[in-house]
Amino acid sequence: MSGSIQDTFFEECEELLEATDEGLTAIEGGDHDPEVVNAIFRAVHSIKGGAGAFGLDDLVAFAHRFETVFDEVRSNRLDLDPKLIQLLLRSSDHLSALVEVARDGGEVDEAHHDTLLAALDEYIPEEEEDLTFEPMGLGGPAAAPEVIVPQEETYRIRFHPLKEMYGTGNEPFFLFQALKDMGELTVTLDENELPGFDSMDVSDSYLAWDLVLVTKEPRSIVEAVFEFVEGLCELSIDGDGDAEAEANALAALDAMFSAPPVEAALPDPAPDTAADSASAPFEPPAPAPEPEAKPAAAEDKASAPKAESGKQEQRSGPKPTLRVELERVDRLINAVGELIINHSMLAQQIANLNVSDTRDVETELEGFKNLARDIQEGVMAIRAQPVKPLFQRMARIVREASAATEKTCKLVNEGENTEVDKTVIERLSDPLTHILRNAVDHGIEKPEDREAAGKSRIGEIRLSASHRSGSVCIEIKDDGAGVNRPRVKQIAIEKGLIPENAELTDAEIDNLLFAPGFSTAKEVSNLSGRGVGMDVVKNAVTGLGGRINISSTPGKGSTFTIILPLTLAVMDGMVVSVADQTMVVPITSIVETMRGSDDMINSLGADGTLLSIRGNFVPICDVAGGLGLYRESDQQAGVYLLVETETGQRCALAVDDIHDQRQVVIKSLDGVCGEIPGVAAATILGDGKIAMILDPESIIAASPTAAAFDTERRMSNAS
Amino acid sequence: MKTKVLAIDDSRTIRNLLAATLEEAGFEYHCAVDGREGVDMYPDVDPDVVITDINMPNLDGFGVIEELRGTGINSKVPILVLTTESAPELKARARGAGATGWITKPFDDASLIFALKRVTGAAA
């Protein structure tokens, strides 16, 4: 039970941290609306409240400090100057880090933690600082201090409520009942003060009670019963126990209440002086709190209409939502996938029946197909989430990277409401982080260099998302120095990635950044270095069925473009046959298809062949050969699928025939069999057979012809 | 008859914690996600006791107390405020508005039940 509540807490933390980030970003952008400040305060406060429930002390302590500073801001005692805003932004980042550590384990950067705490403290007035957060309960029976062997004791209690008590909803009867549960209780009503009927004021309090309680509970618990009426009654509690027990109980009581113990109740062991001097907080408000005229209520009454209008805004705002376990949605997605397969099977079966008139059936089948597609889109929409939270986290990455490199950068987000499959969003986090760190580290220049180049001192990185013809396009554009091509080329030569005399186009040089083991940093900076290169980013993107490109203009900046499929579950594929096997090639990677004739084929070296297309040569990769398949029939690979790799390299995949172009359901091979070079995943076709989904990129990478052609071309370019 | 609790808190975590503890202890649990909703729900739920957070959007805890105790609703039910701080002035202000008592977050099951018992007499 508590496990799932804790899960809820972390989920809620994510939302609250987003709200905090969003608010701070608005503040950074100059929006100092009190409601923005209030919303942040509440968010941090809620994190603190929840964290306390799970004993996450670091988180509680930090959130408290953070919240206190915000309280100062919202009470107009503190101005939101740029320095403070920066501190708040860093604090918000640290709060996220603390939540992460609390959830996933790991280490908190102690030094950073302490620095921020100290920085926040500077904004907190002395008195507030002393007001420490007490992570403890009310002192109910469970929280009772460890008192020596419980001994029965008799307490004589005199309880005389003031009339103010009745306005608070406290009932003497319930208090007595609570006492009665602790032991033996005798209640005597004292009505001596009751005036004559004529002089009686109905709103006044005339009754008093004398109680005798025999209990094993310590004095602290007995006193805790009267906690809520403290200051609203005349109360004395006299015990007959030994002094030592009382001293213990008193100490416990002191610890329990931030306010002093009930003044009249204290027997011989004198309370400390601090307690005496602070006996005022629960003084009732001077006039009796009649429902009609409550003095304390006045100021809030004034703000009531505001709250009212706020409510209406809110009501029309968020639409009702439903939280569903992800697993249920995924089951549904799977079922829809099966439904699509089922449709193809049915269509095929009907075609096989050789019935002369199938028009009616086909109409219904078409309806079936459309419905299946509607359901599929509906379910996909459930999994789709806006990229906003992801983008907001990236703002933090840029801030951290800027601080570490002593550069000033701002991140501008665009298209935050673009919706992308949840898994894609999750798996985009690492590549985006890496690209952004790189952009700050290598792209954006130092402020003085920027100034010298006639640019603003503040570097700008634009992170945008948009839908583009069935794909999601994510762009990371910086206005930095652009790719330093001579240097990139030099490094690539030094690392043996390209021959020394290679002539490369600008695009080819830029794409070297994605080559495994490439790093342009002169020294491995602790930021984007760590021996991880952009090749990891590229792998992550291609792992999602996407592509990544870079374009760059010297002095103007670089743009990384990531194109991703809308969903990971279904894709458009071309169904082909290769050596009597049916296979699927992703449509996204195909540029053109053609039937080849003998005069289009030219040889390259001993085994290689090139396809001549409109005067250009393209290496031919035989898919069957690449996958280690042998043709048994006489059929020849006579159909070519022209595909283009990330580096702009073109290649013709040779297959036997093209059958169809259709939507296929992607079935991952993970855990079914090991990695098969050239195969990305599998799918089930209409006839129930399993077909492999090919990965053109890796087929080309493994092709000797493509490699030979590439070398040849570089050599000829160089000469 | 189960004792009816109306809990008002904008934090899902706290609502869940309250629900878990109270339902296990045999209370009838109702909740609202902010002060406005809490006050709106009050007549229908007709609770025996209200537990409210202080910092909430739309209508804060003080507002809740004032509206419930105000002439419109004129409620006499006990109202416990949930607070993270044991700040005396906060309690004094809540009490000034008509709060019956308070529960300090984080709370354990026993102190929550103990607080409810002192204002409703109900152990469940």
Tally of domains within chain A: 5
User: So what's the pLDDT on residue A113?
Assistant: 85
Domain that holds residue A152: 143-270
Q: Is residue A275 part of a domain?
A: no
Same domain, A395 and A416: yes
Q: Is residue A466 part of a domain?
A: yes
pLDDT (tens digit per residue) in A13-62: 888 888 888 888 888 888 878 888 888 888 888 888 888 878 888 888 88
What DSSP assignment string belongs to A462-484? EEEEEEETTEEEEEEEE-S----
The CA distances from residue A114 to A62, A65, A70, A111, A122, in Å, are: 10, 12, 19, 5, 13
Q: A241 to chain B, minimum CA–CA distance in Å?
A: 24
Same domain, A600 and A632: yes
Contact: B123, A181; criterion CB under 8 Å: yes
Same domain, A617 and A683: yes
User: So what's the pLDDT on residue A293?
Assistant: 41
pLDDT (tens digit per residue) in A659-689: 888 778 777 776 677 777 888 888 888 777 8
Q: Is residue A480 part of a domain?
A: yes
Same domain, A472 and A548: yes
Q: What is the CATH number of the domain that holds A170?
A: 3.30.70
Phi, psi of A582 (to 5 degrees): -95, 135
User: So what's the pLDDT on residue B16?
Assistant: 84
Interface size, chain A vs chain B, as Cβ–Cβ contacts under 8 Å: 197
pLDDT (tens digit per residue) in A628-648: 887 765 556 678 888 877 666
Give the one of A49, A137, A301 whose C-beta lies nearest to B108's C-beta. A137
CA closest to A55 among chain B residues: B106
Same domain, A578 and A535: no
Tally of domains within chain B: 1
Contact: A174, B106; criterion CB under 8 Å: no
Q: Is residue B9 part of a domain?
A: yes
Residue B8: band (very low, low, confident or very high) from pLDDT cuts 50, 70, 90:
very high
3-state secondary structure of A693: strand
Q: Does B27 reach chain A within 8 Å, measured CB to CB?
A: no
Same domain, A560 and A443: yes
Cα-to-chain-centroid distance, residue B25: 16
Domain that holds residue B114: 4-119
Same domain, A200 and A149: yes
Q: What is the CATH number of the domain that holds A435?
A: 3.30.565.10
Q: Are the C-beta atoms of residues B35 and B63 closer than 8 Å to each other? A: yes
Tokens standing for A380? 């996909």
Same domain, A488 and A608: no
Q: A144 to chain B, minimum CA–CA distance in Å?
A: 10
Give the one of A5, A134, A171 whose C-beta lies nearest to B104's C-beta. A134
Same domain, A495 and A593: no
Same domain, A111 and A156: no
The residue type at A370: N
Q: Please give the Cα distance from A466 to A470 (Å, whole number).
A: 10
* Residue numbers of B between 56 and 95 with CB closer than 8 Å to A: 56-59, 62-63, 66, 69-71, 74, 76-79, 82, 84-89, 91-93, 95
Q: Is residue B124 part of a domain?
A: no
What angle separates helix A34-53 from helix A57-74, to the nearest 10 degrees?
160
Contact: B97, A294; criterion CB under 8 Å: yes
The CA distances from residue A463 to A14, A412, A473, A478, A479, in Å, are: 21, 6, 11, 9, 12
Domain ends where: A255, A270, A285? A270
Helix (H) or strand (E) holding A551: strand A547-553
User: So what's the pLDDT on residue A592?
Assistant: 87
User: So what's the pLDDT on residue A319?
Assistant: 65
User: What is the mean pLDDT for each group of 10 consecutive residues in chain A (719 residues)?
Assistant: 72 87 85 82 86 82 86 81 85 88 82 85 66 39 45 82 80 83 83 76 79 81 82 80 54 49 41 42 43 42 41 49 80 81 81 80 85 82 85 86 86 88 85 89 89 90 83 90 88 83 84 75 44 74 82 90 77 85 86 82 79 85 82 69 76 87 76 76 81 85 79 65
Q: Is residue A76 part of a domain?
A: yes
Same domain, A577 and A547: no
Determine if residue A691 is left, alpha or beta; phi over 0 gives left, psi from -120 to 50 gives alpha, anything else beta.
Answer: beta
Identify the residue among A2, A40, A42 best suited for mutation to test binding to B, counting B beta carbons within 10 A and taking the highest.
Answer: A42
Same domain, A153 and A257: yes
Q: Are the C-beta atoms of residues A141 and B114 closer than 8 Å to each other? A: yes
Q: Please give the Cα distance from A555 to A8 (Å, whole number).
A: 48
Q: A48 to chain B, minimum CA–CA distance in Å?
A: 8
Give A167's contacts in chain B (Cβ within 8 Å): 69, 98
Give B109's contacts in chain A (Cβ within 8 Å): 142
User: So what's the pLDDT on residue A251?
Assistant: 57
Domain ends where: A565, A588, A607? A565
Q: Is residue B57 part of a domain?
A: yes
Q: Is residue A309 part of a domain?
A: no
Contact: B117, A174; criterion CB under 8 Å: yes
Give B89's contacts in chain A (Cβ within 8 Å): 281
* Structure ipTM over 0.90, yes or no: no
Domain ends where: A520, A543, A565? A565
What angle separates helix A34-53 from helix A82-104, to the nearest 10 degrees?
30
Q: Is residue A291 part of a domain?
A: no
Determine if residue A48 is left, alpha or beta; phi over 0 gives left, psi from -120 to 50 gives alpha, anything else beta.
Answer: alpha
Tokens standing for A649? 């390299």
Q: What is the CATH number of the domain that holds B35?
A: 3.40.50.2300
